[in-house]
């Protein structure tokens, strides 16, 4: 089916006595077994099915199947947040502890996870310039077990060269994990371009209404984990599985089963069924929302770029953006809701933000409501001036997350705030009098 149809139907067909049209909310912690024999088989993971909702729930399962379909993946595991999806996807590859090569332009929460918590666990990270394939190759160590990057970075919307980076990884038998939160599968499907695993903060574009938190790990089922020395957690026998391996038992679903039956089970960041239902409802309108947002982004960029209060707009649709050519190939429909606006002077930042009447100052993306933030003092406030510069940002950069309002109203709000800020900047003496 096409993505528009999968967004509405994948993973669910009305069934049972009442055939509810809406994927039902199964709020149950546990599931009855019809016999002791059935319980034995299910607990031993020899028979599929639900035992206890920490590791699987029928409502959550519909979400997992829907996102797997949208991403073109084989298996998915939902988690409580995007943060836990990132953590579990990588812990399953790097326990030991091992080494990760990661893009230097990542979501702040991921940077904290990698540089602080993972560092405490002994997992080592090398950060590289995402746009430089040679840097990825050069950072590989003997025990590198994952590449990690974002398909579209935040807030500059740098598009990752997935074919080039995944080719380097696969030469070295390293799986590539891609955070596809900002782009959403509507704009790019990383698995189609060589990636092995996709993660999402479903809190953002998938849920789309700023009302629930959630995350998901999607596996292509195609990476070769059969080397027992390299991937003992998947290919070697485990005491916990009566001395069988996940690979023997689950074949191409082995990685997803590791995420679910070890990390989700043992650490417990489980998605609540009600949240899964909320995310499912959000996904139904994702294609329509993505198209509307794309049109609004185009309108705003076109109408605002000549404003004297703006030094530059950073967006792949513009020829000056470093990802302009790559974006034509990988993200032809757009890169999502984020636009980075660099004001003409840092002194304009506060007046513009405080002058907005419709657009809210808030640190979220992918909401129905348009939001603005100032990375240098908000999401990226822990970065030094040089780290900020490495990320392509400066103190004049604002991040806009375009929502579903009428673009004419958004344009009017931004224009009046920019005009007001410029008036104030040009007349500082009358301002102080
Ligand atoms: C928000 C976000 C996360 C973390 O997701 P939560 O749902 O907030 O835990 C991870 N990656 C990206 C790109 C994000 O925007």
| Interval 231-248: pLDDT, tens | 999 999 999 898 999 999
If you measure from the C-alpha of residue 111 to the centroid of ligand 1, how many angstroms do you get, rounded to a whole number?
11
Residue nearest to atom 7 of ligand 1 (CA): 82
Instruction: Pick the closest to residue 159 from 108, 199, 215, 103 (CA basis).
Output: 103
Contact 64, 278 (CB under 8 A): no
State the fold for domain 3-282.
3.40.640
- Report how far apart, in Å, the C-alpha atoms of 342 and of each of 85, 108, 304, 336 are: 32, 20, 11, 18
Q: Show Cβ contacts of residue 278 under 8 Å, excluding neighbours closer than 6 positions.
A: 207, 209, 211, 212, 214
Pick from 102, 112, 204, 215 the residue to mutate for probing ligand 1's pocket: most ligand atoms within 8 Å of its CB: 204
Q: How far is the CA of 421 from the centre of ligand 1 (A)?
A: 32
Closest ligand 1 atom number to CA of residue 202: 7
CA 201 / ligand 1 centre spacing (Å) = 4
| Residues 180/64, Cβ–Cβ less than 8 Å | no
Is there an atom of ligand 1 within 6 Å of 203 CB? Answer: yes
What does the alpha-carbon distance between residue 99 and residue 130 come to, in Å, rounded to a whole number? 17
Q: Are 330 and 162 in contact (CB under 8 A)?
A: yes
Q: What is the DSSP string of 357-395?
A: SSSEE-S--S-SS-EEE-TTTTTTTTS-HHHHHHTT--T
CA-closest candidate to residue 206, choices 197, 193, 216, 196: 216
- In this structure, the chain runs to a length of 433
pLDDT at site 429: 58
Unique residue bearing structure tokens 């809190």: 203
| Rg over CA atoms, the chain | 23
Helices vs. strands in the chain: H and E counts, helices first: 20, 12
pLDDT of 116 over the 60 cut:
yes
User: Looking at the chain, which residues constitute the CATH 3.90.1150.10 domain(s)?
Assistant: 286-432
Q: Whose CA is nearest to atom 1 of ligand 1?
A: 201
Q: What is the pLDDT of residues 148-202, one digit of tens each?
A: 999 999 999 999 999 999 999 999 999 999 999 999 999 999 999 999 999 999 9
Kindly compute the dihedral angle of the four CA atoms of residues 116, 120, 125, 130, in this order, to the nearest 10 degrees. Answer: -20
Predicted local distance difference test score (pLDDT) of residue 428: 59
The pLDDT value recorded for residue 433 is: 44
Distance, CA 82 to ligand 1 centroid (Å)? 5
Percentage, residues of the chain above pLDDT 70: 99
Q: Which one-letter DSSP state was computed for residue 262? A: I
Ligand 1 atom at minimum distance from 364 CA: 1
Q: Which is more confident, 433 or 385?
A: 385
CATH number for the domain running over 286-432: 3.90.1150.10
CATH 3.40.640.10 segments of the chain: 3-282
Which of 78, 81, 82 is the pocket-test mutation for ligand 1 (most atoms within 8 Å of CB)? Answer: 82
Please tell me if the CB atom of residue 336 comes closer than 6 angstroms to any atom of ligand 1: no
Say how many Å lie between the CA of residue 18 and the centre of ligand 1: 37
Q: Whose CA is nearest to atom 6 of ligand 1?
A: 82
Closest C-alpha to 64, from 50, 52, 77: 77
103 in ligand 1 pocket by Cβ < 6 Å? no
Q: Is there a contact between 136 and 101 (Cβ–Cβ < 8 Å)? A: yes
């Amino acid at each position: 089916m096409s993505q528009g149809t999968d967004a509405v139907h994948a993973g669910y067909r009305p069934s049972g006595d009442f055939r509810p049209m809406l994927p039902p909310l199964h709020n149950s912690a546990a599931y009855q077994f019809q016999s002791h024999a059935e319980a034995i088989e299910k607990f031993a993971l020899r028979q599929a099915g639900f035992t206890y909702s920490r590791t699987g729930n029928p409502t959550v399962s519909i979400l997992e199947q829907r996102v797997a379909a949208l991403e073109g993946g084989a298996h998915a595991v939902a988690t409580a947040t995007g943060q836990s999806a990132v953590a579990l996807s990588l812990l399953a590859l790097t326990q030991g502890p091992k080494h990760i090569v990661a893009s230097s332009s990542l979501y702040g929460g991921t940077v904290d996870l990698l540089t602080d918590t993972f560092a405490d666990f002994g997992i080592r990270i090398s950060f590289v310039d995402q746009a430089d394939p040679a840097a990825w190759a050069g950072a590989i160590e003997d025990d590198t077990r994952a590449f990690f990057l974002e398909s579209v970075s935040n807030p500059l919307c740098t598009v990752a060269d997935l074919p080039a980076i995944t080719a380097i990884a696969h030469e070295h038998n390293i799986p590539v994990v891609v955070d596809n939160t900002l782009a959403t599968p509507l704009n790019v499907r990383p698995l189609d371009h060589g990636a092995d695993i996709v993660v999402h903060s479903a809190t953002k574009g998938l849920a789309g209404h700023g009302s629930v938190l959630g995350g998901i790990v999607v596996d292509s089922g195609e990476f070769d984990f059969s080397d027992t020395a390299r991937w003992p957690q998947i290919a070697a026998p485990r005491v916990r599985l009566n001395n069988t391996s996940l690979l023997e038992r689950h074949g191409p679903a082995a990685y997803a089963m590791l995420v679910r039956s070890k990390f989700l089970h043992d650490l417990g960041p489980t998605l609540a069924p009600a949240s899964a239902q909320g995310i499912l409802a959000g996904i139904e309108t994702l294609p329509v929302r993505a198209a509307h947002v794309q049109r609004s982004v185009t309108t705003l960029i076109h109408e605002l770029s000549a404003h004297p209060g703006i030094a530059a707009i950073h967006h792949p649709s513009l020829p000056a953006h470093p990802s302009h050519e790559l974006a034509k190939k990988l993200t032809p429909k757009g890169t999502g809701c984020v636009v980075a606006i660099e004001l003409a002077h840092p002194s304009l930042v506060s007046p513009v933000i405080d002058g907005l009447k419709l657009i809210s100052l808030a640190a979220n993306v992918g909401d129905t409501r348009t939001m603005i933030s100032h990375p240098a003092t908000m999401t990226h406030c822990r970065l030094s001036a040089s780290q900020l510069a490495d990320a392509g940002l400066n103190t004049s950069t604002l991040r806009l997350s375009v929502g579903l309002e009428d673009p004419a109203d958004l344009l009017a709000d931004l224009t009046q705030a920019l005009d007001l800020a410029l008036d104030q900047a040009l007349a500082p003496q009358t301002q102080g009098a």
